[in-house]
């Protein structure tokens, strides 16, 4: 191993601390420690707190448009201090600003919260800690990744306050609406800023993703083979691969859209009359944009949900005190979802004039995704089955994820069929479907992760009682918001409409819409419990034990407050898979990954016994030979 050489290298690059105190930050200024940090743990926290900030902004936007939908006659004059001229003379929400609100809600939630906030936080935090590495392969690139995200956030946030309003063509920004500033005021400067922010965001995601993949493949500790990786790491690896392959395609789409908007090309524009005037653009195709966008857009929903799956697998196994059911099947289903996610994008385009034959191919692939998804659900349920379940807040959120994934996933089977999709396309049925299966499920995965790894992040515990209150209010609230939307959707109620009261078919749903809005506002308010709990516990929480959940993975072998480099001294070696919970014969109901088989003879399986015996024989022969 060349230990002497290694020590020598560390001499050059490390701060040697011979005291017993764990004061590792005395060589770092405030700026290098908390702001321009290359420590993966600090970067993860930066992502998390930025993500929480965005989640509140995104949630607030939805509350404002829910007011319009639930109470169309409401006097909104009291919002004028916040929204200014977006409240019209008559005290109503400006219709174009309504479109901006739904657009920004979608963009913020999908990209800034559930991609950056989720992957950015947990990939950064858990990858080095769980695979046994001192940091990411490139700390500098990692830092750059966060600051690109930060710059992107600043641009996107700024666009909320400009005079012509932020982008308002829907989060998918389909041209020609998004390409022509004359079409809608949000397609002016707001759209330009949206594109700039997304270009920065893509750069951030690629820098992060390249780092995650490299780290997982190259920096695993001794003994950490791929079949001993925790499922979190498998999920983060495949998420990063998805991002790496799909975000460049979004970049291509955004680039061509920028050229169409600012340079006068016609990639997505053709034969358009606007305000009675013919535009010069000829030969382009708006459908082309949809293909490019959804080639990212569909993998994107898996970029959002896979990390949540990984986190849930880990938490459910730990808190059921049982090995995850079907470890290899879990990996296989993750792989299957990853591959299939690239073959289904056109199911978002069934009503775009797509060739029906081509459509049926995409129906087939879409429905095949139900199989690995069902494998995952089955394995979660069978892991819970007859486990000694510990209902920590993290565990509740994980079970909540499984619940949302089932109820939202079932409607996916309807929507995946091109025939029924003609009726349901762009209705609230779709809104209900994806908010449950991807939005809420991924959000619950994120929350589960925060509650579970908070002790490792900040060395303190979050308050469990507030966690339970947060969970139940949110869990019930989300079902109250999204379940009724299925009925609206089946009735044909279209999404993104500012006002529905003029349509005879829909004005009977006024009460239901008011109900949804009240539920949404209460659910949003419940998040304040979380915010208080989170920020209060960072400073005042009870100090955390080293392994509060009695978990097996390597991050719980580190000290409570860990410095840059993660382990004081040697990195632990790994001798077993991460799911040795309640192993028959074992003294405790968990055996961490760094415990050698040779010290647990009472619980070793026959094959493991043979391995230990062989190892003993080899060392004996060696010592005989040396003599």
Hey, which residues between 109 and 148 contact another protein (CB under 8 A)? Answer: 133-141
Is residue 352 involved in binding another protein (CB under 8 A)? no
Taking the complex as a whole, the smallest distance from the CB of residue 574 to another protein amounts, in Å, to 11
Residues 6+ apart with CB under 8 A from 376: 309, 330, 333, 405
Which CB sits closer to another protein, 128 or 412? 128
Which CB sits closer to another protein, 568 or 585? 568
Helix (H) or strand (E) holding 273: strand 273-274
Binders in 36-55 for another protein, by CB under 8 A: 38
- Residue (of 582, 577, 578, 553) closest to 566 by Cα position: 553
Taking the complex as a whole, the smallest distance from the CB of residue 270 to another protein amounts, in Å, to 7
Taking the complex as a whole, the smallest distance from the CB of residue 571 to another protein amounts, in Å, to 5
Taking the complex as a whole, the smallest distance from the CB of residue 41 to another protein amounts, in Å, to 13
183, 249, 344, 521: residue in contact with another protein (rule CB under 8 A): 249
Q: How many CA atoms, within 13 angstroms, populate the side-chain half-sphere of residue 233?
A: 27
Is residue 594 involved in binding another protein (CB under 8 A)? no
Taking the complex as a whole, the smallest distance from the CB of residue 45 to another protein amounts, in Å, to 18
Using DSSP, state whether 94 is helix, strand or coil: coil
Straight-line distance from the first to the last Cα atom of the chain, in angstroms, rounded to the nearest whole number: 23
Here the tokens at position 176 are: 């020609």
Here the tokens at position 10 are: 């560390």
Q: Per CB under 8 A, which region of 110-118, 376-384, 385-393, 561-569 contacts another protein?
A: 561-569
Binders in 164-183 for another protein, by CB under 8 A: none
198, 311, 571, 574: residue in contact with another protein (rule CB under 8 A): 571
Is residue 504 involved in binding another protein (CB under 8 A)? no
Angle at 352 between CA 351 and CA 355, to 5 degrees: 90
CA distance 403 to 37: 38
158, 171, 172, 291: residue in contact with another protein (rule CB under 8 A): 291
Taking the complex as a whole, the smallest distance from the CB of residue 288 to another protein amounts, in Å, to 6
Q: Per CB under 8 A, which region of 326-334, 369-377, 495-503, 564-572 contacts another protein?
A: 564-572
Here the tokens at position 72 are: 């169309």
Here the tokens at position 410 are: 């079932």
Size, binding site for another protein by CB under 8 A = 74
Is residue 423 involved in binding another protein (CB under 8 A)? no
Contact 127, 40 (CB under 8 A): yes
**CB neighbourhood size of 327 (10 A):** 21
282, 364, 419, 543: residue in contact with another protein (rule CB under 8 A): 282
Is residue 279 involved in binding another protein (CB under 8 A)? no
Q: CA 296 → CA 172, 178, 244, 421, 474, distances in Å? A: 11, 18, 10, 21, 30
277, 511, 570, 626: residue in contact with another protein (rule CB under 8 A): 570
60, 83, 288, 512: residue in contact with another protein (rule CB under 8 A): 288
CA distance 25 to 33: 8
Which CB sits closer to another protein, 342 or 497? 342
Binders in 19-38 for another protein, by CB under 8 A: 19-20, 22, 24, 27-28, 32, 38
What residue has token string 């880990």?
Answer: 314
- Using the Cα atoms of residue 133, residue 137, residue 141 and residue 145 in order, give the sign of their dihedral: negative
Helices (H), ranges, 322-392: 327-340, 356-368, 370-384
Here the tokens at position 465 are: 């009682």
Is residue 445 involved in binding another protein (CB under 8 A)? no
Contact 437, 337 (CB under 8 A): no
Is residue 213 involved in binding another protein (CB under 8 A)? yes
Is residue 514 involved in binding another protein (CB under 8 A)? no
CA distance 397 to 464: 12
Binders in 257-276 for another protein, by CB under 8 A: 259, 263-267, 270
């Amino acid at each position: 191993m060349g230990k002497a050489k290694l020590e020598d290298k560390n001499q050059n690059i490390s701060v040697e601390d011979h005291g017993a105190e764990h004061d590792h930050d005395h060589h770092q200024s405030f700026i290098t420690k908390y702001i321009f940090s290359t420590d993966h743990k600090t970067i993860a926290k930066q992502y998390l707190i930025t993500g929480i900030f965005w989640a509140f902004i995104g949630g607030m936007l939805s509350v404002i448009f829910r007011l319009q939908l639930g109470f169309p006659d409401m006097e909104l004059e009291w919002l004028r201090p916040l929204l200014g001229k977006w409240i019209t003379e008559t005290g109503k929400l400006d219709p174009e600003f309504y479109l901006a609100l739904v657009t920004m809600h979608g963009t913020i939630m999908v990209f800034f919260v559930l991609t950056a906030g989720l992957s950015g936080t947990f990939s950064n935090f858990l990858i080095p800690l769980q695979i046994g590495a001192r940091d990411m392969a490139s700390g500098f690139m990692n830092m750059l990744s966060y600051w690109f995200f930060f710059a992107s956030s600043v641009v996107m946030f700024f666009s909320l306050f400009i005079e012509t309003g932020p982008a308002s063509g829907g989060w998918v920004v389909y041209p020609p609406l998004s390409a022509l500033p004359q079409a809608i005021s949000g397609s002016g400067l707001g759209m330009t800023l949206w594109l700039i922010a997304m270009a920065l965001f893509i750069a951030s995601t690629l820098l992060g993703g390249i780092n995650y993949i490299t780290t997982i493949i190259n920096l695993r500790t001794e003994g950490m083979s791929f079949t001993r990786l925790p499922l979190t790491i498998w999920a983060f690896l495949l998420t990063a691969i998805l991002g790496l392959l799909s975000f460049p395609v979004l970049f291509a789409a955004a680039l061509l859209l920028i050229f169409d908007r600012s340079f006068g090309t016609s990639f997505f524009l053709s034969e358009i009359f606007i305000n009675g005037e013919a535009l010069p653009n000829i030969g382009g195709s708006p459908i082309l944009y949809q293909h490019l966008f959804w080639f990212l857009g569909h993998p994107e929903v898996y970029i959002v949900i896979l990390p949540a799956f990984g986190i849930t697998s880990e938490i459910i196994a730990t808190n059921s005190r049982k090995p995850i059911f079907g470890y290899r099947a879990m990996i296989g289903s993750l792989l299957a979802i990853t591959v299939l996610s690239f073959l289904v994008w056109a199911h978002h385009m069934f009503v775009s004039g797509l060739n029906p034959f081509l459509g049926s191919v995409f129906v087939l692939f879409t429905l095949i995704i139900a199989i690995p998804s069902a494998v995952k659900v089955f394995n979660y349920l069978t892991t819970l089955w007859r486990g000694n379940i510990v209902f920590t807040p993290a565990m509740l959120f994980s079970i909540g994820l499984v619940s949302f994934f089932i109820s939202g996933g079932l409607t996916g089977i309807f929507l995946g069929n091109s025939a029924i999709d003609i009726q349901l396309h762009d209705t609230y049925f779709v809104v209900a479907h994806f908010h449950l299966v991807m939005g809420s499920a991924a959000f619950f995965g994120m929350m589960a992760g925060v509650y579970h790894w908070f002790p490792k992040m900040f060395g303190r515990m979050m308050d469990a009682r507030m966690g339970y209150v947060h969970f139940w209010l949110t869990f019930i609230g989300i079902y109250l918001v999204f379940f009724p939307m299925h009925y609206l959707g089946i009735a044909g109620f279209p999404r993104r409409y500012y006002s529905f009261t003029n349509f005879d078919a829909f004005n009977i749903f006024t009460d239901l819409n008011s109900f949804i809005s009240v539920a949404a506002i209460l659910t949003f308010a419940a998040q304040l419990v979380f915010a208080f709990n989170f920020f209060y516990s960072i400073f005042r929480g009870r100090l955390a034990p080293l392994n509060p959940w009695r978990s097996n993975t390597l991050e719980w072998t580190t000290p409570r407050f860990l410095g840059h480099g993660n382990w004081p001294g040697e990195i632990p070696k790994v001798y077993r898979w991460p799911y040795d919970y309640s192993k028959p014969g074992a003294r405790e109901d968990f055996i961490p990954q760094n415990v050698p088989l040779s010290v647990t003879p009472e619980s070793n399986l026959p094959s493991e016994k043979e391995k230990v015996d062989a190892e003993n024989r080899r060392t004996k022969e060696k010592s005989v030979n040396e003599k």
